[in-house]
């Protein structure tokens, strides 16, 4: 069950939606210091990283306010801000863990490419084919895959950005786009 914003929060949201830059600044500054301190203490990240995550969080919130998708939440606006911010910090840790997990393999891969000229040519050809394939899937597919894989956006964020009705629509769209790519890859393989 969703609980409406408190009256003061509804007014803030309404003012921001109407383009009131003072209300936007007030909301931005209201929780910044506390969020940065909390992030540093809770997650052990640097002040710069905490500020970056706060900026990303507030950008998401302002986008949601402006496109009308943020009208009701199950908590206070402050709790909502901290929740999105926490997810941003977790994304940083997930990305760092992926790099650490695959770092040795990537270094080995690049060393192999540098030492074997045939491998480098094959790699370059595969990279070109992938780029060409990416051009054939359509603008919508390119955008959703870019948002998910390169910008590391959540399905909820993608739904907001793409104007989808729900995360499920975004998930289904991404799946169809990947199927397009798989079918294009299978064609040359089937032809020999």
pLDDT bracket for residue 2 (50, 70, 90) = very low
Considering only the top CATH level, what class is 117-192?
A: mainly alpha
Give the tens place of pLDDT for each residue, 10-40.
Answer: 888 888 888 888 888 988 999 999 999 999 9
Residue 5 pLDDT exceeds 50 = no
pTM of the model: 0.49
pLDDT in the model for residue 34: 95
> What CATH architecture is 1-115?
Orthogonal Bundle (1.10)
Higher pLDDT, residue 32 or 109 = 32
Torsion angle of C-alpha atoms 74, 77, 80, 84, degrees rounded to 10: 150
Give the tens place of pLDDT for each residue, 116-157.
Answer: 666 667 767 777 777 777 778 888 888 888 888 888 888 888
Q: Which whole-number Å values give the CA distances from 58 to 45, 85, 111, 162, in the listed order?
A: 18, 9, 41, 18
Cα 192 to Cα 187: distance, rounded to the nearest angstrom:
9
Residue 185 pLDDT exceeds 90 = no
Domain ranges of the chain: 1-115, 117-192
State both tokens at 144. 């959703």
């Amino acid at each position: 069950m969703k609980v409406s914003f408190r009256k003061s929060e509804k007014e803030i949201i309404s003012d921001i939606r109407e383009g009131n830059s003072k209300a936007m600044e007030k909301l931005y500054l209201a929780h910044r210091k506390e969020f940065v301190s909390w992030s540093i203490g809770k997650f052990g990240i640097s002040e710069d990283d905490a500020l970056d995550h706060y900026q990303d969080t507030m950008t998401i919130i302002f986008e949601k306010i402006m496109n009308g998708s943020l009208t009701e939440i199950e908590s206070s606006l402050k709790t909502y801000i901290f929740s999105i911010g926490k997810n941003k910090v977790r994304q940083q840790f997930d990305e760092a863990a992926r790099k650490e997990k695959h770092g040795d393999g990537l270094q080995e891969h690049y060393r192999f490419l540098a030492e074997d000229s045939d491998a480098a040519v094959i790699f370059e050809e595969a990279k070109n084919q992938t780029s060409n394939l990416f051009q054939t899937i359509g603008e919508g597919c390119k955008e959703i895959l870019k948002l998910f894989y390169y910008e590391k956006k959540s399905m909820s964020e993608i739904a907001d950005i793409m104007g989808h009705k729900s995360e499920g629509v975004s998930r289904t769209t991404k799946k169809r786009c990947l199927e397009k790519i798989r079918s294009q890859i299978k064609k040359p393989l089937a032809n020999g």
